[in-house]
Amino acid sequence: MVKDSVMYSAVVSKDPLILKAIAHPIRKKILEMTLKKPMYPVEIARELNMIEQKIYYHVKILKKAGIVEEVEEKQMRGGKARWITPKATAFGFVMDNIKGGEVITYTDYPPFVVGGVVNAKIVVGSPDPHGPNRARARDGHLAAEIASFFGKMGTIPWPFVFTDIELKDLSGNLIVLGGPVVNLVTAKFNNFLPVHFKSRSIKVNDKEYAEDWCGFVAITNNPESRGKKVMVIAGRTGSGTRAAILGFRKYFNKIQEKGYIIVQGFDEDGDGIVDSVDLLE
């Protein structure tokens, strides 16, 4: 959502409960507090000088409206308390039967997209010489293809794209573009992936793929951040990474089902650029 030239992440609903939930001054205050930092209900009650039961009541309404989520739990006083945080920074209501807008096939892709909000960062390799191989990444422009795809599924945070040498905090959900030679984040997570690079080939189980235009998409748990995921989209070459992106768009459901795909790219119109892919795994 854009207001006064500023873009905000947003959750939009056809349920008027979202308006009722936001309209209450206590619930509005809870949103403002937990936007600054995730908080336990007991902490919210303490700061607002209210009994916990009343805070739990208001949090329950916010959860039912799809406005807040629980991100972490802690054992407290013999029970479990959960951190509360807003799903976005803006919330809206859409009337039924309204005309206009673009019809999209996918609207949710947890944990990367939840409730119409993209909750991830794209990490591309730096175009400057870096890493042990002093490599230059030349596929950063392909991040636009991924961003446009996710942009149709939900509101994108800003900034959304980072280079591997500038992103120091690897927590959260990550979408990493490029192989381990040009992207140091791919190198860091390579051995955790169900499909990974081994020397100059792509390996899965007992099979290896060494074709230049071969690429893959693989998802694994983020070892740097509990409950978060890492998706790597990469190939043996820049053209292999392009093939992997085409595969991501074409075989999206397969990735959700299996956790990875491996594709082979082809140049069907003879212009030297990968423009189609076949599924190998």
Kindly state whether residues 195 and 247 are assigned to the same domain.
yes
In a domain, 20, yes or no: yes
Degrees, nearest 5: CA angle 162-223-43: 90
Kindly state whether residues 155 and 119 are assigned to the same domain.
yes
Structural domains counted in the chain: 2
pTM of the model: 0.67
Task: Write down the pLDDT at residue 178.
Answer: 92
In a domain, 205, yes or no: yes
Kindly state whether residues 161 and 254 are assigned to the same domain.
yes
Parallel/antiparallel/unpaired status of strands 196-198 and 201-204: antiparallel
Kindly state whether residues 82 and 136 are assigned to the same domain.
no
Tell me the average pLDDT of the chain.
86
In a domain, 106, yes or no: no
In a domain, 103, yes or no: no
Kindly state whether residues 243 and 141 are assigned to the same domain.
yes
Kindly state whether residues 83 and 195 are assigned to the same domain.
no
Between CA 86 and CA 24 the distance in angstroms is 15
Task: Write down the pLDDT at residue 1.
Answer: 60
The domain boundary, picked from 92, 125, 144, lies at 92
Of the candidate ranges 11-20, 122-131, 180-189, the one whose mean pLDDT is the lowest: 11-20
In a domain, 223, yes or no: yes
Rounded to an integer, the average pLDDT of 1-24 is: 77
In a domain, 105, yes or no: no
The domain boundary, picked from 35, 63, 92, lies at 92
Percent of residues, the chain, with pLDDT higher than 70 = 91
Kindly state whether residues 34 and 83 are assigned to the same domain.
yes
Task: Write down the pLDDT at residue 192.
Answer: 93
Kindly state whether residues 163 and 77 are assigned to the same domain.
no
Task: Write down the pLDDT at residue 126.
Answer: 92
Rounded to an integer, the average pLDDT of 38-63 is: 92
Kindly state whether residues 78 and 157 are assigned to the same domain.
no
Element (H, E) at 242: helix 238-250
Residue 105 has pLDDT above 60, yes or no: no
Task: Write down the pLDDT at residue 216.
Answer: 95
Between CA 112 and CA 118 the distance in angstroms is 6
Kindly state whether residues 140 and 200 are assigned to the same domain.
yes
For residue 245, the domain's CATH number is 3.30.379.10
Burial state string for 108-132 with b = 16 or more CB within 10 A and e = fewer than 16: ebeebbbbbbbbbbbbbbbeeebbe
Convert the pLDDT of each residue in 258-270 to its tens digit. Answer: 899 999 999 888 8
Kindly state whether residues 71 and 145 are assigned to the same domain.
no
Kindly state whether residues 177 and 247 are assigned to the same domain.
yes
Q: Amino acid letter at 206?
A: D
Task: Write down the pLDDT at residue 6.
Answer: 63
Residue 242 has pLDDT above 60, yes or no: yes
Q: How far is CA 205 from the centre of its chain?
A: 26
Q: Which range has the top average pLDDT, 3-7, 15-19, 244-248?
A: 244-248
pLDDT bucket at 177, cuts 50 / 70 / 90:
very high
Domain carrying residue 132: 113-279
In a domain, 97, yes or no: no
The domain boundary, picked from 92, 127, 161, lies at 92
Percent of residues, the chain, with pLDDT higher than 90 = 41
In a domain, 56, yes or no: yes
